[in-house]
Chains A and B, each alone.
Chain A
């Protein structure tokens, strides 16, 4: 069974940093690109970042470019999102998701982890 489990969310002050993790199981992690997608309270879905299966290619939404870094360790079956210079508008539930097919869609999602940015 494919499983994705996020962790690391919490309350952080504006300007602070936080790293969220996504531990996966039930599939060969090295074969799949991954993405982070977020949802602010009461709002819609927003794609944040993606990383290729090898980790060699990364892309970011304009709203987080230069502040967030996506990475992965295929030996640990883990995906990360390092978030720096956090702003109130980054408050959201952060989901990790596996990219399937081409150009890609998301059939498998984690349950999400809440990141709150507030003083």
Chain B
């Protein structure tokens, strides 16, 4: 069972801005940084954001992350058709001594 809670779905038209929330607790998001992954069907997850708001090389600046307290969010601006995928937040959990993922959000481009 996922420890981090995300909305099951989000959608927008091309060019719009979409935001995905991720809610955790003091032992995970409240104590550690948050990462975000994008997963296309049949593929391995791809790291989009690490350490709350850092983009790995090659990730477009349309993707941005933020964290406040025990919650985090991922924003996708200038939505494109290729952004249609599943998105997961994640963080280390000090109580569980493991890495916990969010429930996942399916983004649909209308």
Q: Which residues of B contact A59 (CB under 8 A)?
A: 97-98
The listed residue with most B CB atoms (<10 A of its CB), out of A50, A106, A111, A112, is A106
On whether the beta carbons of A50 and B99 are closer than 8 Å, the reply is yes
A109 within 8 A of partner (CB): yes
Mask: chain B, 84-110; 1 = CB below 8 Å from A; 0 = not = 000010101000111111111000000
Chain B interface, number of residues (Cβ within 8 angstroms): 25
Q: Which residues of B contact A50 (CB under 8 A)?
A: 98-99
Q: Which residues of A contact B44 (CB under 8 A)?
A: 95, 109-112
Chain A interface, number of residues (Cβ within 8 angstroms): 23
Q: Which residues of A contact B104 (CB under 8 A)?
A: 44-45
A68-B96 Cα distance, complex, nearest whole Å: 17
A35-B101 Cα distance, complex, nearest whole Å: 14
A44-B65 Cα distance, complex, nearest whole Å: 20
Question: Chain B: which residue is nearest A96 at the CB level?
Answer: B44
On whether the beta carbons of B92 and A46 are closer than 8 Å, the reply is no
A107 within 8 A of partner (CB): yes
B9 within 8 A of partner (CB): no
Mask: chain A, 86-119; 1 = CB below 8 Å from B; 0 = not = 0000000001000011011111011110000000
On whether the beta carbons of B47 and A107 are closer than 8 Å, the reply is yes
A110-B97 Cα distance, complex, nearest whole Å: 23
Given contacts A44-B104, A105-B47, contact A62 B33 (CB under 8 A): no
A2 within 8 A of partner (CB): no
A55-B39 Cα distance, complex, nearest whole Å: 29
Distance to closest chain B CB from A11 (angstroms): 20
Mask: chain A, 6-31; 1 = CB below 8 Å from B; 0 = not = 00000000000000000000000000
B51 within 8 A of partner (CB): yes
Q: Which residues of A contact B39 (CB under 8 A)?
A: 45
A95-B47 Cα distance, complex, nearest whole Å: 14
Give B residues with C-beta under 8 Å from A: 2, 32-33, 35, 37, 39, 44-47, 50-51, 56, 88, 90, 92, 96-104
Given contact pairs A45-B101, A100-B50, A105-B51, a sample of 12 additional A-B residue pairs in the complex whose CB atoms are under 8 Å apart = A44-B101, A45-B104, A50-B99, A59-B97, A101-B51, A104-B99, A105-B50, A106-B37, A106-B45, A107-B50, A110-B44, A112-B44
